[in-house]
Structures are given as C-alpha cells and as structure tokens.
Structure 1
Amino acid sequence: MDAYFRDIYGSRWPKLKEALKEDVRHVALANPFSKMSQEEIQRRLGEANSSSSSENVGTLRYHAISHCRLIDGLAKGATDGKYPVPLSDSADLKAWYWMDLGSLLPALALRIREDESVLDVCAAPGGKSLVLAQGLFKAEEVQAAAQQGGGDQAKRGFLVCNEVSASRRKRLACVVSEYFPSHVKSRIRLTDSDGTKLRGSYDKILVDAPCSSERHVLMQKSGRENGFKSPKSSSTAVIERWSPKQCKIFAKLQYSILKSALTCLKPGGQLVYSTCSIATVENDFVIEKILQKFGPGNGRCHVKAVKDCGFGNAKDRATLEQLGCERTKHGYFMLPDKSKFGPIYWCLLERSQGSGGDSEHSE
C-alpha cells in the first residue's frame, strides 16, 4: 500500500496515512422532521460533552451548510468510546444523526428541489438519504400538505433508496423508520435492485459507490498492530486482500454501476458519483472512462462533468475551501490530513438536454 500511494501523493503520503488511521470525526446532523428544537438538541449534546472526560472535548460549534444544520466539537464517551445515542422527540423520531461531515457534500451537491424524482443507488446505511430527503421534503411544507389531506403530493417529489445487500437494507429501513414521519415515509420507497441493472427515470441520482475504503483498512490494521482484536473476521479479510489489483476490480464495478445509473437519468438531470477511496483509479479515472463512453458522438446519452461540482457560488466555494476540500481533474476531494473529515471524493455529471435513450454499445 505504501509504495502505491506514495506514487500518487508523494511526500504527502506519510501524513495522510497517519490521518487515515485516526478515529473518524463525526458531526450531529439535526433532523428537521423532529419536534426537538435546535436549542434543545444543542443543550442535550452540550450536557453529554461536558460529562465526558475525553481529551478531545471542545466547544460545541453550530454550522449551517445549505439546508443542513450541524453541530460539531463533540467528544466520544469516556468509557465506551462512542458518541451519545441520538434522543427521540415526543413523536418517537430521532433528533439527530451522526455522520462524517464529508459524507454530506455529495448529497448536497445535487441541489435537490421539492418537485424532483431522486434515486440513491447505494443508499445504506442511510445518512446520505437523510440529507437528500431533507432537501426534497421541506419539513414545514410537507407537514402542511399532510394536514390538508395531501393536496398536490402526487405532483411532488419522491425518493427511491436502493440497497442490494439485505443486511444493509435492514439498517437503511431502520433509519427511514426512526427519522421520518408517516407523511414523508409515504414518499420514500426502498428497493433492492442490482446497481449494474437499474431501471427507471430520475431527475437526480446519487451513486455513492462501493470502494476499497482505505481508511477502514488502515484503522483495522492499526488496531491489530496495537493488540486490539478486530470485531469482525471479515475485517481481517478486507485488510489482507487490499491490493492495487483490488482497486481495479472496484473501479470496474463502479464503472458498471455508474453506467447503469446514467441511463436512468432524465435529459437535463444530474448525477453525483462519490467514493471514500483515495485511489485515483476509483475516482477521476472512472469519470474519465465514463466521459469517453458518453461523450458527443457516442450513442444517444451524452453527459458532461459540471466544473463547480454542485457548489457554484462564491459562498459555496468559500465553504469548501474552509473545510479543506481540494480540486481534482473532474471533481473534489476532502482528505483528513487537511480537513479532519473524509476521505470523500465526488464529481457532478449532467445529462445533456435532448439526449434520449441509452448508450449500450460495447466498452
């Protein structure tokens, strides 16, 4: 692994490697459908923070990125090494969701509007679906429509959360059940389609693709080297099988999923491709291959990479810079040696207006 990533990152690799081995830092994403107020959430989390004896305790910080409300600066518990369990409101809806801040960005890059049809291809465990739903189902408007007997809900947007793995889909179903009221759940559908054989027609699609997940590998390996037993035998298998060849195998799968998803995108629609891999072959190289296949003159489905990656105005760019994000050839990277979050890569693709049908000629 060292030789492989030293070729990509040069002298930066030792520092990046050490950052990848550190515990993942999470933020609390407030649930706008919960009846628990922002102030109450902050108070509850503040109490949990002050009771922790962790050296990482800091001042709670409140952030607003697009429609998302976040609280940062929290410490894991002193005894169990976990963040405080999300509390439920009077309607039994969870008030916040723990996630890596980097995982927000691909979902936010789609700039979801209320009337759009949206597909989350590899949706488990559910954090990105939660972000998509917050943009698609504005809490106040959806609540008002429900109280009025539905109104024009049939004309409004919907979210399809797809997950082929039964165990991961079960976790996804729990998130939908625990975070959304019934009038929102009625507009969310869970499916189990093979990501390489997708069907349908959507305005926006998120492909958070399976990847080699080097941070997971390094964290598990670091635990083994320090005498900690891996909680799952499969983790050891992941560590042992990592190789440049494995990255290429993932890249082939990612390409197949992305190609399938693009044929489900409406003309004028947008798709975000993301991974948590730091391997270029799984990120920009996959996009490069897609642009070659779906470029002008190649079939009827034409796509282009959107340069601003979904964050087009000056305020957006300042936010990304402040968070430590950096440009790649076709997308953005958030890497933990600069941002303390991630890693996450994302690229925004747009299907040309007027391009119809699919592009199923050979590779």
Structure 2
Amino acid sequence: MSDQNSNGLDRRAFVKSAAFGAAALSVGATGVLGTAAKAQAAGPAGYQHTQNFSVVTIGTGNPIPDKNRASACTMIQFNGHYYLLDTGNGSNDVLAENGFAYRNINAIFYTHLHADHMTDFVDLMINRWMTGGKEMQIIGPPRSGAYYNFMIDFFADDLTYRQYRGYARGVSEVGMFKGIDVRELTGSNRFELDGMRIRTEPLTHTMYNLGYRFEANGKSIVVSGDTSYDPTLIELAKDADVLVIDANIVAAAAKKGTEEQAFTDDSIKKPKPKYEFAGNFDVAPHMGIDEVAKTATAANVKTVVLTHLPPAPFNMAAIKPYFEQAGFKGRVIEGRDGLEINP
C-alpha cells in the first residue's frame, strides 16, 4: 500500500476508491483494518462491520478546506450503533458516501467547541431524525447545549415543516424537539453508555478540550480531540489498543515567524475568552510530530492513528523517524476519511 495520500482525486472519488487502504508504519503490533470499499458491497443495508467495537475516522482534516478530507469527526462503533466525536464540515457527506445509517447514531460527543469540529451538526441531526432516529444524547463541554438550542430556535419553522411532511412515515417530535438528552461535562468523568465504559479528561488547547476513552469487550479506544503536549493524555491513553490523536504536523522546530509566534510574543496583544471554560488562548494549539511520537510511546498504545491533518500530501517516510527515535513499538496509521480500525 502506498504511504502517499491520493491527492489527485477529489474527496468524493477518494472515499469511494477501492484503493482506500491504510498507509501504515508497522513497528510491531498488529491490527485489523476495514475500508470504505466494504460500504459499496453492503448496498442499502449499510456498512457491514467485521467486529462489534471499532473506530472510524470520518473526518481527518483540519480547518483548511481540503477536497480529500472532511474536518474533524471520529466515530466509535459499538454493536452496530454509532457514537460521533465532533461533527466537522464534510462529515455528513462521508457518512452518506460510506453507507453509515444516520438512524444508528446514539450519541454525539464534542471534544471542544471550535467551528471545524461542529459545523455539520444541523445536517447530521436532521438527517438522523428524518431517517428514523429517535432518542439520543449530546455530550460535551459547557455550551454544547446552546448549540442544540440554537438549532431548535433558529430553524423552528423549517423543523416543524419537516415533521409535518414526515408524519406518514413516523417522524415525530422525538429525535429533534424531544428525546434529546444534553450532558455538559468538565474535568474528569467516568460513566457508562449502552454498555461502554467512558472516561473524560481535560487536555490543553486554545479551546477547552476533553479527551475521551471508550472501553468495551476488553478493548480500549482513545480520542484526543485537539491538544498541545499534555501528560494527562499519556495517562488517559495508557495501554490503549487504539489512540486517535491530533497530529496537525506542526514541525518541531519551525514555529518561529509563523502564527505560532503569537503564543510566545509579548508584543502581540492577547485577547481573552468571552465564556468560562473557553480554553486558553496563550497555549500552542497542537503538538509537534515529535510530541505525538513521545505521547504514543509513553502511553504504550498498540496503534496510533494520526488525524486533524493539513491539506498536503501525507509522507509516512518523514513521520517514521520520529516514532523510531521515541522507541515506539506499535503501529502508526494515517487517518483517512471512512477508514475503520478494529482494536
């Protein structure tokens, strides 16, 4: 398999390509990968999962528009039900292109409230509701509920009309106006949802960010959201089977003279957040790839999946030395839209 992303294709063609495999660096551990090609064979029944606990990188890009990558969205699959972490621009399309049934979305989690992690929320909620989705949960940092409430208020007449037109096929208030349980979290949390054990920890980002750990069937999947280097992530991801990690590929020694300078230059007037739990504008927003490798190694994860990638050709050969130097013994995978990883 090629280590290079297929940047010559537009994202729709790229997602549907049978060549949509994992570009992986194997330094010891094993893993079972699914591809979006399975969705094509699945037909109307939807995507066919080979295991009942997995993670799918739905949107693997960063805020810069990219024809090959949607913005941030990661999906936990458990017993055929879906748990989305973030709903970035384009994630709605990737779900449709790969045959993932919207009605099977049981929850939407938010790592943090940056726009590139949220903007497909309205489309996803409407598509889920109109295709039979009923009760669900929205879980995230403070003000996650305000986003849902904004949708209900701003699109009130649109949603009422859709409910009226969908009445004959069972569309009701449940799944949109009712049956939506919003839970806003801060700090460390442990709870269960649909048989999965879930843990959250706050990480270091310019916006208040929660990392999530999901455990089921003796396996564990961790999703970092966006974060600069933070020892808390090492502890959260300790011995995890899969770590989906923010890898915005900020060069380790290439920050001076760029936008990163704003975080160290005292001559630049620093704005203050408007809301409580809005984060810290003074910290670096992402890790360098050396810090990603250090985190994965210290956490002793079996498979690390790189996501939140910029719109540039992915070069695994350039990434490999950082993990080798850190002593990483697991598997490194380039996240791609629609790629399923089985722990």
Normalised by the size of structure 1, how large is the TM-score?
0.29
Answer 1 or 2: higher relative contact order, Cα 8 Å, separation at least 6: 2
Normalised by the size of structure 2, how large is the TM-score?
0.30
The structure with the largest alpha-carbon Rg is 1
Q: Which has the higher helix share?
A: 1
